[in-house]
Structure 1
Amino acid sequence: MPKFLIVGATKFEIQPLLTYFKIPVHSPEGLFSTESGPDISALITGVGMVNTAFALGRYSHNLFDYIINAGVCGAINKDLKIGEIVNVTNDTLSEMGAEDDSEFIKYPDLNLPGTNYYENQVQIISSALNGLRKVSGITVNTVHGNEQSIAKVRRLYEADVETMEGAAFFRGCSRLSENYFQLRAVSNYVEKRDKSKWQMPLAIENLNSFLISLIEELEK
């Protein structure tokens, strides 16, 4: 029986999955597992790349066959539809770099060791997963909601979506499992902040329905 780990920043983003597989959650953050049936654990990390990296490091002694980062995202690419599920195959820590007066120097141009770019080349045999659009992501501490900063990030990066955890997830999982991937549902477009346009319930419903179907497919 394969072992699954679902990594979510918050409980509410994966609540339908927790309910469906009867995973008891007793606190806002931590590792929780099914008591019977499929071997599924949920790691609720807290929001942001620091919390994600810390949580993955804390539980890195656990071995899983599949690790899935699941959550909502903002779409920079407006060809994406609200509620659409995407497979983020590469992710960049976009704020990692330096300022030179009004210019931003990307991390690779600083000639320092390491990287701010993480790529997932995992090939999973799954009809459901293969049907998703593959996109590029950026990971940020401050989500964009200002026209000038959005224009700047569009100029610097060819990204489709932004999250607050994705690149940290990829970095942590590179040492934990051979089968890991980041699935996101678009809840809003990256534009001047207007929460009345967000469709969080739709994104969460679509995301969790897909996750449940994917897990049941991979179990076979």
Structure 2
Amino acid sequence: MAATIQLMYSELQNKFGLTDFKSESQKEVTKHVYEDALIEQRDVFINMPSGFGKSLCFQLPVLSKDYAFAIVITPTIALATHQVDYLRSKNIMAYCWNAYTPNSIKYIIKKDLIKKKPKIKFLYISPEQCQSLHFQVIMAKVNLRVSYYFVIDEAHCVSPSSHNFRKCYQSLDRIRTKYPHVPILAMSSTITKKVTLFYNQLNIVNCV
């Protein structure tokens, strides 16, 4: 545990220029993502309020491990673009993949992700594109020794009772079928007792 925290602090300063986490809770959640998802290959559920800094909780672990990366599923292109622009401003390799992404960029992403030592750290992708045959073929070629996980941002969008309901989110349970050994991180700030069935809807198992 102490070694993990020390590694987190080192990357926090090196990559983001920060000397400390926003809170003890953020630090603990980030540690759990690194140890439980990235190392132990377990699913993780993060339900924290807006402003908590949830993105850092899945970004820092990937940055702390060589050749690891995250596939981040986001409901809007604007949200994905904002995150990618921020990461690139920190000299962190990140890309967007959506219906408007040129084939030339998709080719660059494909060539990198299937390498033994990929340089891309974050790929922000739309739920529709994540389930496309083209993308699935690429992921099938990812080196088995490379560590990565899926991040489902705004996970509450899977529930019909949510005002942010996205029908395409309901088919994200296929991620578990397609990639049974890849951890899934489900993130939300609005999950309530009425929508906790999203565990079953997303086919999340053995969740921390």
**What TM-score comes out, normalization by structure 2 length?**
0.35
Kindly indicate which of the two structures has a greater share of residues assigned to helix: 2
Report which of the two structures shows the higher radius of gyration computed on alpha carbons: 1
Higher strand share: 1
